[in-house]
Amino acid sequence: MTWAEELLRAAHAAQLRLGELRSPVLEPAVADISAQLRGLVYPGFLTAAGTARLPALARYLRAIERRLDKLTDSPGRDAQQMAVVHRVQDACQVALAALPAAAPQSSRAAEAARDIGWMIEELRVSLFAQTVGTPVPVSERRIMTAIEHLN
């Protein structure tokens, strides 16, 4: 099986599982996971991610699967972990919006922002699916530090 097939199958399986979750208490997590999937798998995602990033994408999709496995048993814990992810995502968006108009297009700023996006995906693995593992240590604090260096 190719990377493309593996990634598309995993994303499709996650979408099917999300469609089965009907409880109102799970709606925020379902919306979050759906948004994460849209950010990972979209038309052109293979080219955008690059060959070197494909194993990480597979890991992120495995982490989504693990999150879905645990979601119905502890939606409160999931919500707490989701709040951490949303804090760093919001901080990143604020920092990017505060950059001078030309800065987001500069290769350094664009690369740093992309790297922070990948760090956020690693944070999701760390929070929601620890058994999947991350290649480097990641935390909310490390990401916030990286965001501070955007300015």
pLDDT confidence of residue 60: 98
Nearest to 64 by CA among 104, 121, 117: 121
As a whole-number percent, the residues of the chain with pLDDT over 70 amount to: 95
- Cα angle 82-60-95, degrees, rounded to a multiple of 5: 55
Kindly list the domain boundaries of the chain, sorted by start residue: 3-148
Judged against a pLDDT cut of 80, whether residue 151 lies above it is answered with no
pLDDT number for residue 26: 97
- What are the tens digits of pLDDT across the range 37-70? 999 999 999 999 999 999 999 999 999 999 999 9
Q: What angle do CA 138, 12, 1 make, to 5 degrees?
A: 85
CA terminus-to-terminus distance, the chain: 42
Predicted TM-score (pTM) of the model is: 0.92
